[in-house]
């Protein structure tokens, strides 16, 4: 480190924007801290290994330390040391011996090496986290890199797919391509691999319009996982909200450019990019966690602390800490991050992990919270897709249906109801009717639309569809927690054998149940979200919590054989039907009321006799076979259109045995054309017709879709 610092090298600079900003003439450094007394900018060599110089930021404006360094350029490696009181009982944990990452860093260099020196207190000391550790943490820390964000986007345009046409594909950047035989080895598991022609062709073929990526913000591997030879595979352990994870780049020094290229290629194919973002907590943990960034910059501002014991953290996330979005500067950081990913990285939307926390004020969840208001009024954020995971483990944390207008929400009631129905649970009929129709009981308020319900049957957290019909119990032994982790209530069934089997009868039932659930998902009102790989029967060997499995348990096996090919073909048929029939993706909630103008009801529920269901049918716990009649003559608005939509009949039979179902009579209808029968998955597109009023044998555990063929009317 140089012995002297010349004040002429650095000027006051500006307090905004926050972060390290290349101006073309130098770099402006700005760091928020309400409680620090001094901030030192630390410069490193090109490898990030040797600290070359410390420069005190000379100015402090509106709680922001700032300075302008004319000698700095893109590629400059830096970090901070922040001085202030070390008083954990007052919420302050400043320790200038600990090198700290810039919360606004756009890129990083190096990897974290877990060591006791990373902790602000002395591990093993009698005073625990009240002690003060004087070891320098720099050699164990990653560093920040100044970036020139310039990128040639060409004529890149956001696809702006309407919500009504949106189909989401939830996937993992690495896992989806790591074993893909048609992607070159150097591109497997990378942003580049995800945007390859092979992947785009497959994704488009199953009707997907938006790729939702598990976390790609800069994140860390937990030390306890590394000790077991595991890693944080999913990525829900963020430490930098502006930088893409380098681990998914072919060239880690240019991860931000490769991410942009991926977005551009997906956009060129008409695919949107949605990011799963984790703003609810950070990788720093609780009072016993490491001091890596926020904790050492301004612990009392960035985190929610117990009001009467500020030494301890509020833990509504279950991860040790909770980010304090009630603080204006923390709220600014999150919204700045979101705008950065939209404006600079061109992403199309966000799925917010544990979204309830983001709308939680000190008094609890508030649908008028500062964060929700900020998103609603922001012209950038109001123009992209916003999806909440509407729960956390805090008081009143379950908030499905309660987010503000403009938001979509993961609908776990849809997941559990549909799973329960197909596994044969009693008393699911009434709830199933609501879930298939966009869950109006949850979302039909304040002008919200059916698309607000993100319908899913499987997600990264839980069983895949294949494992849902293959295992009665979770098998998470590989996680090293003696199978104690992960949910135990999975609404799954193995149909006679735990795990894979050669029994043809069991396999036939399993495949039909997968088709039943895929068809239910694609044919429901609302926004379908498909877990990547479910379209070809991907398995995780019964692991329903594969968060730490960066191996064959999580990596997709694209050599899925004849069984997988049949499932892909079936999924493609479903996608084509959803696209073909607008009645399956109506923009308004369907009503069972009679429309005078059209002479029809948009929605009717039919029992096996061919008659409409009544209250007693819904209340009967043994009702497991019913049909949804969507009458295309009943338009969703008062505006007359030139042609009516098709009329469809969706039959679901969860009984183990076959049911004789009378195909109902509909005005002007002469026959029902069968489009889907999950018991006959390989049937050709030109399906046969069945007369109105005819009895159709619905196989046990099967789903059917019919389209009404009507009389030809004479032109006037």
Which tokens go with 389? 């995971």
pLDDT confidence bin for 632, thresholds 50/70/90? confident
Which tokens go with 104? 């606004």
The residue ranking higher by pLDDT, 596 or 664, is 664
pLDDT at 685: 58
Inside any domain, residue 640: yes
Inside any domain, residue 605: yes
Separation of alpha carbons 610 and 215, rounded Å: 48
Average pLDDT over residues 37-63: 97
Whole-model pTM? 0.96
Residue 6: exposure state from Cβ atoms within 10 A (0-12, 13-18, ≥19): exposed
Separation of alpha carbons 241 and 248, rounded Å: 16
> How do residues 340-363 score in pLDDT, each as one tens digit?
999 999 999 999 999 999 999 888
pLDDT at 635: 63
pLDDT of 502 higher than 70: yes
Most distant pair of Cα atoms in the chain: their distance = 96
- Choosing from 102, 131, 146, the residue where a domain stops is 146
Total domains in the chain come to: 2
Inside any domain, residue 385: no
pLDDT at 633: 82
Angle at CA of residue 553, ends 550 and 554, nearest 5°:
55
pLDDT of 2 higher than 70: no
Instruction: Give the chain's mean pLDDT.
Output: 94
CATH number of the domain that residue 656 is part of: 2.60.40.1180
353 is catalytic: yes
pLDDT at 645: 83
> How do residues 294-324 score in pLDDT, each as one tens digit?
999 999 999 999 999 999 999 999 999 999 9
- Choosing from 146, 175, 193, the residue where a domain stops is 146
The two beta strands, 695-698 and 217-219, are unpaired
pLDDT of 617 higher than 70: yes
> How do residues 554-565 score in pLDDT, each as one tens digit?
999 999 999 999
pLDDT at 637: 55
Which tokens go with 402? 């309660």
pLDDT at 596: 65
pLDDT at 1: 40
Q: Which residues contact 281 (CB under 8 A, 6 or more apart)?
A: 238, 317, 319, 320, 321, 322, 323, 354, 357
The residue ranking higher by pLDDT, 640 or 560, is 560
Inside any domain, residue 705: yes
pLDDT at 530: 98
pLDDT of 436 higher than 80: yes
Q: Which of 217-221, 586-590, 606-610 has the lowest mean pLDDT?
A: 586-590
Inside any domain, residue 279: no
Residue 611: exposure state from Cβ atoms within 10 A (0-12, 13-18, ≥19): exposed
Inside any domain, residue 300: no
Q: Which of 389, 409, 444, 535 is catalytic?
A: 389
pLDDT of 715 higher than 50: no
pLDDT of 682 higher than 90: no
Inside any domain, residue 362: no
> How do residues 130-140 score in pLDDT, each as one tens digit?
999 999 999 99
pLDDT confidence bin for 79, thresholds 50/70/90? very high
pLDDT of 684 higher than 90: no
CATH number of the domain that residue 42 is part of: 2.60.40.10
284 is catalytic: no
Please give the residue range of the domain that contains residue 42. 19-146
Separation of alpha carbons 558 and 178, rounded Å: 10
Inside any domain, residue 126: yes
pLDDT of 701 higher than 60: yes
Q: Is the peptide bond before 17 cis (omega within 30 degrees of 0)?
A: yes
pLDDT at 496: 97
pLDDT of 657 higher than 70: yes
Three-class HEC string of 447-496: CCCHHHEEEECCCCCCCCHHHHCCCCCCCCHHHCCCCCCCCCCCCCCCCC
Distance, C-alpha 667 to centroid of its chain: 43
Q: Which of 316, 353, 444, 535 is catalytic?
A: 353
- Choosing from 106, 128, 146, the residue where a domain stops is 146
pLDDT at 597: 63
């Amino acid at each position: 480190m140089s012995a002297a610092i010349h004040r002429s090298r650095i000027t006051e600079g500006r307090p905004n924007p926050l972060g390290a900003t290349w101006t073309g003439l130098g770099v402006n450094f700005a760091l928020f801290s309400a409680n620090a007394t001094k901030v030192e900018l630390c410069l490193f060599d090109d490898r990030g290994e040797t600290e070359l110089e410390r420069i005190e930021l000379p100015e402090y404006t509106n709680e922001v330390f700032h300075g302008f360094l004319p000698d700095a350029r893109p590629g400059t490696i830096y970090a901070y040391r922040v001085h202030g009181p070390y008083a954990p009982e007052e919420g302050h944990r400043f320790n200038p011996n600990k090198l700290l990452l810039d919360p606004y860093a756009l890129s990083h260099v190096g990897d974290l090496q877990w060591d006791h020196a990373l902790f602000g207190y002395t591990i093993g000391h009698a005073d625990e986290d009240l002690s003060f550790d004087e070891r320098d943490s720099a050699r164990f820390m990653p560093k920040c890199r100044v970036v020139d964000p310039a990128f040639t986007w060409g004529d890149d345009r956001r696809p702006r797919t309407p919500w009504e046409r949106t189909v989401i594909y939830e996937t993992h950047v690495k896992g989806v391509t790591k074993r893909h035989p048609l992607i070159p080895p150097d591109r497997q598991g990378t942003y580049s691999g995800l945007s390859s022609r092979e992947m785009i062709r497959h994704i488009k073929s199953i009707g997907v319009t938006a790729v939702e990526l598990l976390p790609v913000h800069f994140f860390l591997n937990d030390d306890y996982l590394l000790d077991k030879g595991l890693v944080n595979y999913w990525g829900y352990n963020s430490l930098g909200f502006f930088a893409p994870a380098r681990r998914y780049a072919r060239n880690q020094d240019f991860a931000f450019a490769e991410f942009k290229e991926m977005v551009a290629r997906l956009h060129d194919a008409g695919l949107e990019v949605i990011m799963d973002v984790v703003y609810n907590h950070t990788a720093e943990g609780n009072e016993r966690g490491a001091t890596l960034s926020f904790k050492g910059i301004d612990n009392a501002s960035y985190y929610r602390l117990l009001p009467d014991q500020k030494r301890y953290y509020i833990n509504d996330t279950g991860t040790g800490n909770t980010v304090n979005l009630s603080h204006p500067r923390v709220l600014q950081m999150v919204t700045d991050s979101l705008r950065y990913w939209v404006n600079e990285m061109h992403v199309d939307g966000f799925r917010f992990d544990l979204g309830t926390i983001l709308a939680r004020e000190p008094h609890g969840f508030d649908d008028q919270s500062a964060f929700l208001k900020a998103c609603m009024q922001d012209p950038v954020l109001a123009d992209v897709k916003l999806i909440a995971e509407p729960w956390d483990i805090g008081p009143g944390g379950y908030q499905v249906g309660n987010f503000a207008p403009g938001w979509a929400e993961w609908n776990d009631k849809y997941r559990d109801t549909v799973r329960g129905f197909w596994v044969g649970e009693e008393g699911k009929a009434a709830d199933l009717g609501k879930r298939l129709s966009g869950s109006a009981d949850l979302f039909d308020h304040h002008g919200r639309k059916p698309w607000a319900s993100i319908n899913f049957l499987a997600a990264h957290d839980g069983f895949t569809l294949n494992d849902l019909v293959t295992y009665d119990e979770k098998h998470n032994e590989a996680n090293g927690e003696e199978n104690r982790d992960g949910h135990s209530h999975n609404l799954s069934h193995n149909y006679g054998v735990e795990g894979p089997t050669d029994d043809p009868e069991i396999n036939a039932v399993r495949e039909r149940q997968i088709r039943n659930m895929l068809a239910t998902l694609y044919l429901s009102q609302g926004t379908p979200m498909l877990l990547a790989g479910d379209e070809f029967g991907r398995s995780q060997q019964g692991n329903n919590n594969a968060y730490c499995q960066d191996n064959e348990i999580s990596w997709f096996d694209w050599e899925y054989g004849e069984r997988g090919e049949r499932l892909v073909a079936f999924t493609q048929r479903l996608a084509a039907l959803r696209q073909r029939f607008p009645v399956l993706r109506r923009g308004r909630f369907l009503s069972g009321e009679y429309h005078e103008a059209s002479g029809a009801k948009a929605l009717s529920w039919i029992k096996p006799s061919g008659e409409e269901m009544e209250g007693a049918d819904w209340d009967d716990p043994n009702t497991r076979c019913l049909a949804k009649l969507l009458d295309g003559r009943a338009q969703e608005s008062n505006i007359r259109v030139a042609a009516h939509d098709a009329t469809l009949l969706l039959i679901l039979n969860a009984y183990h045995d076959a049911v004789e179902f009378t195909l109902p009579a509909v005005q002007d209808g002469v026959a029902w054309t069968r489009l889907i029968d999950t018991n006959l998955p390989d049937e050709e597109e030109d399906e046969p017709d069945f007369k109105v009023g005819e009895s159709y044998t619905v196989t046990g555990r099967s789903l059917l879709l019919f389209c009404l063929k009507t009389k030809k009317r004479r032109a006037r």
